[in-house]
A and B are shown apart, each in its own frame.
Chain A
């Protein structure tokens, strides 16, 4: 930043330092002339935030700058805070330092809140899939910086034959509101699946509750599936979600299992069709959220479905975990250096080839 005072006499160091007090113990400030000559350096002692060093030589300050960093103990600035401080300071004249410090504090609070949200969300998503003999199951979940509303749920039903229930869903919107609705809907859907005859009915019931209870301030795309683990028969209902991909062991191109109703929470009735297929030994079913296909490169290009197919093709024959890693690595490399803008969720279920 440019220092907007003409000489050292104009510089009230206490006023410069004041906004940073209480912000972060161990914070260091240096004021430098345009040529980099140090003019003043201060350290805020951890508890009281006092200036312990103060050297202001004469000379013009015009064109100088202020640098802020953490102390040598490492207890000072986190890198995120340092970045936000640097950003806040970059454009600010010296009189705006108080505002800059406030913005930095706000940014830190927001950052902490987002981190809480991500942890909260992650705690709802069990990454360890249930053990189903004869199947290879893996899941991947990566939260966006600004928490999204993805979730998935894999569990064995307490019914004859212990079918596997698979749910993948995406709450529209971002932030705490989406994470909270996700936390509300996930057990609702889980219970509905446990107490209905099939995926379509479970989605219908969940929709009814959301619509009638008027809890749906956001909407949700959801895919619910039931896998008969003995026969490989997969029955599913799709409420506005990305359709699942089926990759056959015979080497034929992957196909989308199309057929969907509207998203959950938007209409009084869904009338979702129930569709089904059979997973033969070696076949793989892939469920995912739009964080994959909508991922955006810095060029503005979207990852799109064809790149997903390419990643799927290149990992054909791999384990469920390998397939997922290939796709998530591919998405990650595509949007580099940007972090994911949206949650990314992938579930892969592969019926093991007959021994």
Chain B
């Protein structure tokens, strides 16, 4: 129903933006999440870690948000969540590294696995390993 987001920056060779989600991601708020990432991208964010540690629940609309977020971070526009799947095709089968996921709870991880969305993302155990990996790759 409700979800809070917190944004943190990690400075380095390439700055990393960490977006932490707290609550439930569903049809009522997934568009806001996409807008938040759009704003972060416009402000210059190019490496994003989505910290899922405090996300208790993710509905199928959350998958649409995650996909759209990958689009945004690849500089693609417009962000019509109902028109976005073509870009995913063009990304091919490999997981991209502009957006990383960190620390999903078992229920959220199961949704990612069940729907194959884990193919799109490198999923890290927690935000620290995600930061290390993103820094090393930069």
Residues of A within 8 A of B (CB): 170, 172-174, 177, 211, 214, 216-219, 221, 239-243, 260-263, 265-270, 290, 294, 296, 300, 302, 341
Contact = CB atoms under 8 A, between A and B. Distances in A.
B119 A267 contact: yes
Given A173-B64, A290-B60, A300-B1, A267 B115 contact: no
Contacts of B85: 216-219, 265-266
A177 B89 CA distance: 21
23 contacts: A173-B61, A174-B27, A177-B82, A214-B86, A219-B64, A219-B85, A221-B60, A240-B115, A242-B114, A260-B113, A261-B116, A262-B119, A263-B63, A263-B116, A266-B85, A266-B116, A267-B88, A267-B89, A269-B93, A290-B59, A294-B26, A296-B1, A302-B57
A240 B62 CA distance: 14
A46 B82 CA distance: 43
Nearest to B113: A260
Contacts of B113: 260
A270 B86 CA distance: 15
Q: Chain B at the A interface: mostly helix, strand, loop or mixed? A: helix
Contact of A211 (B61, B89, B92, B119): B89
Given A219-B63, A267-B88, A173 B119 contact: no
Interface of B: 1, 24, 26-27, 57, 59-61, 63-64, 67, 82-83, 85-86, 88-89, 92-93, 113-117, 119
Given A294-B59, A300-B1, A173 B82 contact: yes
Given A172-B61, A267-B93, A269-B93, A218 B119 contact: no
B116 A267 contact: yes
Contacts of A219: 63-64, 85
A265 B83 CA distance: 12
Contacts of A260: 113-116
A268 to B, nearest CB: 6
A236 B24 CA distance: 31
- Which 3 residue pairs are nearest across A and B when measured between Cβ atoms? A262-B116, A240-B115, A263-B115
Contacts of B61: 172-173
Contacts of A267: 88-89, 93, 116, 119
Contacts of B92: 268
Given A214-B86, A217-B85, A267-B119, 5 more contacts: A172-B63, A219-B85, A241-B114, A262-B119, A267-B116
B119 A221 contact: no
A290 B58 CA distance: 11
Contacts of A296: 1
A303 B61 CA distance: 18
A266 B114 contact: no
A266 B82 contact: no
A211 B117 CA distance: 16
B116 A170 contact: no
A172 B32 CA distance: 17
A221 B115 contact: yes
Contacts of B27: 174, 341
A203 B88 CA distance: 18
A270 B26 CA distance: 25
B93 A172 contact: no
Contacts of A172: 60-61, 63-64
A294 B116 CA distance: 19
Contacts of A240: 114-116
A217 B82 contact: yes
Nearest to A290: B60
Contacts of A300: 1, 24
B89 to A, nearest CB: 6
A239 B89 CA distance: 16
Contacts of B64: 172-173, 219
B83 to A, nearest CB: 5
Contacts of A261: 116
A122 B90 CA distance: 35
A142 to B, nearest CB: 17
A237 to B, nearest CB: 13
Contacts of A239: 116
Contacts of B117: 262
Contacts of A290: 59-60
A177 B64 CA distance: 15
Nearest to B80: A217
